[in-house]
Amino acid sequence: MTLVEAFKRIWLIATFGIILLLFGAGVLFWNEGRAVHTIMSLDEALDVAVTLEANTDEIEPTYNGRIVHISGPLIIGEPLTEPDYNIQVLAVKLKRRVQMYQWVEETVEHNYGESVASVHTEDRSYYYIREWRDHLIDSRNFYIQTGHQNPRHFPIESKVQIADTVYVGSYELGAEIKEKFKNYIELTSDTRPEDPFIKLHLGLYYHTNDIFNPEIGDVRILFTFAGLEGEMYTIVGKLNKNEIVPYKTSRGIEVLLIYPGEHSLTQVFKMEHHAQRLAAWTFRFAGWILVFFGVTCTSKLFYKILIKIQFLSALAPDPQYPVGTNLLLSLSLTLIIASIAWILHRPMVAAGLICAAASPFVWFARGISIYQRVD
């Protein structure tokens, strides 16, 4: 059977496998390119960054436009407030998460079949329960609408307040860096709202007559905050007059770093490198999974190709035990694709990846040559 004939026999699954291979290769190539440029940009920023004292009476104009590193406690200009709930907090962000008590439709499908006649009928059961949900559920799409109507909108919307002015020492944080505060902490308060309809229970504010027996349309609210005044933070960004904004490298990548605690310049860049490596390996794993399933779907085609090449024939997928060779092939393809992005920027890294990708082929070729000499 030729390669074309093999493809015609499994054209649907083979086409799907080729699409997975192409998509996986695209993810891997994009990720490696992103990782290369990010690493090079971080190295460039580290080379030109300077450390400044956060508490200074006068900002040196010579540092304007340069990437700077500062550490110090947060200073909030005005507190963020929720007057209806007697809440005010000196923080960078105050988040209001609203949930509404709604009807939720659940379905259970029952399939019954008779093996002799091969007749199948479907029966579906609908269940309606009441739950707290963050998003609006449209009850007009329910199978049984009578008695299961949800409100058309939230009476109170979720939102995030951001402080107008935030400082670290004498330096103001720009809007982009304030957006990076995402480690939210639950806000608890012993002060109860003045409105008797609003009830406080276990840190949640309920708009209901009965906390333990809510009605459809009742809401509950959870408040969280991020970046409390007085907390120590380390910031790296471009100094624009007295404001910290993103620093754009020669590669067009913006560098704007923020980490809780007090860290030196080298420490904060080391932590960012670590975070970028974790992100890169996550995408590598996702790309490899796509390549693996792509190879699995096209294993018969790979078998036809590899079986004709003597030193690669041992890598041809075994129809009875294909998982092992599919793993080897997908790993080798993944490493080869990853090495392409590194050739121009880090040749040694690319060479190492290519050697790792080729090692299974070299090992099997060596085994075949030894076998032939013995024979």
Q: Is residue 83 part of a domain?
A: yes
List the beta bridge partners of residue 160: 95
Which string of DSSP letters, residue by residue, matches 96-111?
EEEEEEEEEEEEEEEE
For residue 213, with 0-12 CB atoms within 10 Å meaning exposed, 13-18 middle and 19 or more buried, which class applies?
exposed
11, 24, 76, 260 from 53: Cα distances, Å: 66, 47, 19, 17
Domain boundary residue, one of 237, 262, 287: 262
Regarding pTM above 0.75, the answer is yes
Instruction: Say if residue 150 is in the same domain as residue 110.
Output: yes
The answer to whether 197 and 211 are in contact (CB under 8 A) is no
Residue 338 has a pLDDT of: 79
The answer to whether 103 and 139 are in contact (CB under 8 A) is yes
Q: 5: Cβ–Cβ under 8 A, 6 or more apart, which residues?
A: none
Instruction: Say if residue 196 is in the same domain as residue 301.
Output: no
pLDDT digit string, tens, across residues 287-312: 999 988 988 888 777 666 666 666 55
The answer to whether 189 and 75 are in contact (CB under 8 A) is no
The C-alpha atoms of residue 192 and residue 303 are separated, in whole angstroms, by: 71
Q: Is residue 251 part of a domain?
A: yes
CA 351 centroid distance within chain: 30
Instruction: Say if residue 133 is in the same domain as residue 29.
Output: no
pLDDT digit string, tens, across residues 178-190: 999 999 999 987 7
pLDDT greater than 50 at residue 367:
no
Instruction: Say if residue 98 is in the same domain as residue 204.
Output: yes
Q: Is residue 216 part of a domain?
A: yes
pLDDT digit string, tens, across residues 325-362: 677 778 878 888 877 777 766 677 667 767 766 665 55
Instruction: Say if residue 303 is in the same domain as residue 165.
Output: no
Mapped onto helix, strand or coil, the DSSP state of residue 76 is: strand
pLDDT digit string, tens, across residues 239-291: 998 899 999 999 899 999 999 999 999 999 999 999 999 999 899 899 999 98
Least confident of 135-139, 160-164, 192-196: 192-196
Instruction: Say if residue 110 is in the same domain as residue 240.
Output: yes
Spatial CA neighbour of 153 closest among 100, 92, 199: 100
Instruction: Say if residue 216 is in the same domain as residue 124.
Output: yes
The per-residue pLDDT of the chain, averaged, comes to: 84
The C-alpha atoms of residue 291 and residue 133 are separated, in whole angstroms, by: 37
Q: Is residue 159 part of a domain?
A: yes
Residue % of the chain over a pLDDT of 90: 51
List the beta bridge partners of residue 50: 68
The residue type of 373 is R
Spatial CA neighbour of 214 closest among 127, 102, 73, 81: 102
Instruction: Say if residue 135 is in the same domain as residue 208.
Output: yes
Give the mean pLDDT of 114-121: 38
The residue type of 257 is L
**For the chain, how many structural domains are there in total?**
2
Spatial CA neighbour of 49 closest among 61, 72, 66, 70: 66
Domain boundary residue, one of 262, 281, 315: 262
Helical axes 11-48 vs 322-342, angle rounded to 10° = 40
Q: 12: Cβ–Cβ under 8 A, 6 or more apart, which residues?
A: none
Confidence of residue 317 (pLDDT cuts 50, 70, 90): low
Instruction: Say if residue 103 is in the same domain as residue 84.
Output: yes
| Domain span including residue 165 | 71-262
Q: Is residue 49 part of a domain?
A: no
The C-alpha atoms of residue 235 and residue 361 are separated, in whole angstroms, by: 48
b/e 109-143 (16+ beta carbons within 10 angstroms → b): eeeeeeeeeeeeeeeeeeeeeeeeeeeebebeebe
70: left (phi over 0), alpha (psi -120 to 50) or beta: beta
Residue 110 has a pLDDT of: 66
Q: Is residue 278 part of a domain?
A: yes
Q: Is residue 56 part of a domain?
A: no
Q: Is residue 9 part of a domain?
A: yes
Spatial CA neighbour of 253 closest among 230, 276, 274: 276
Instruction: Say if residue 257 is in the same domain as residue 280.
Output: no
The answer to whether 142 and 102 are in contact (CB under 8 A) is no
pLDDT digit string, tens, across residues 11-66: 788 888 889 989 998 998 899 888 889 999 999 999 999 999 988 877 788 889 99
pLDDT greater than 90 at residue 78:
yes
pLDDT greater than 50 at residue 372:
no
Domain boundary residue, one of 209, 227, 262: 262
Instruction: Say if residue 235 is in the same domain as residue 106.
Output: yes
Instruction: Say if residue 138 is in the same domain as residue 230.
Output: yes
